[in-house]
């Protein structure tokens, strides 16, 4: 008995997503890490896609972790850091020069939106 076309398509999409995620992790994870930090404190996290705000909520940076819905390790970069929210989904936190951070959000190596961390003052 042959699998249905839907099962085959699902398997192909899943395999492609996993492969793209591994490729993105290799690409982003292979760069040398400099000693920069995402500053501890309270922020407003805003995620957007195509200019539309998808989610806005309070966030904290505690040590080397971003605290949103869960706790996510922040990996240092020369411009701030990056966080892997789940396999294949990475957000880049580049310093904006004003105490906040912003950068692209990737899924499977493709830019799917952006994140902004705005400090609470």
- pLDDT tens-place string over residues 38-61: 999 999 999 999 999 999 999 999
Which of 19, 17, 29, 43 is closest to 101 using CA atoms? 43
Mean residue pLDDT across the chain: 80
Q: Which residues pair with 26 in a beta bridge?
A: none
Torsion angle, CA of 31/32/35/40, rounded to 10 degrees? 30
pTM recorded for the entire structure = 0.69
Indicate if the pLDDT at residue 28 is higher than 80.
no
User: Residue 36: its pLDDT value, please?
Assistant: 62
């Amino acid at each position: 008995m042959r699998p249905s076309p839907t099962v085959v398509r699902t398997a192909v999409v899943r395999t492609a997503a996993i492969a793209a995620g591994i490729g993105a992790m290799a690409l982003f994870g292979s760069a040398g890490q400099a000693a920069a930090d995402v500053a501890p404190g309270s922020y407003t996290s805003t995620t957007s896609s195509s200019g539309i705000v998808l989610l806005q909520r309070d966030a904290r940076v505690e040590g080397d972790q971003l605290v949103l819905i869960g706790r996510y390790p922040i990996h240092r970069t020369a411009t701030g850091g990056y966080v892997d929210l789940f396999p294949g989904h990475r957000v880049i936190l580049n310093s904006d020069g004003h105490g906040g951070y912003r950068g692209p959000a990737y899924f499977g190596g493709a830019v799917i939106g952006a994140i902004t961390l705005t400090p609470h003052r």
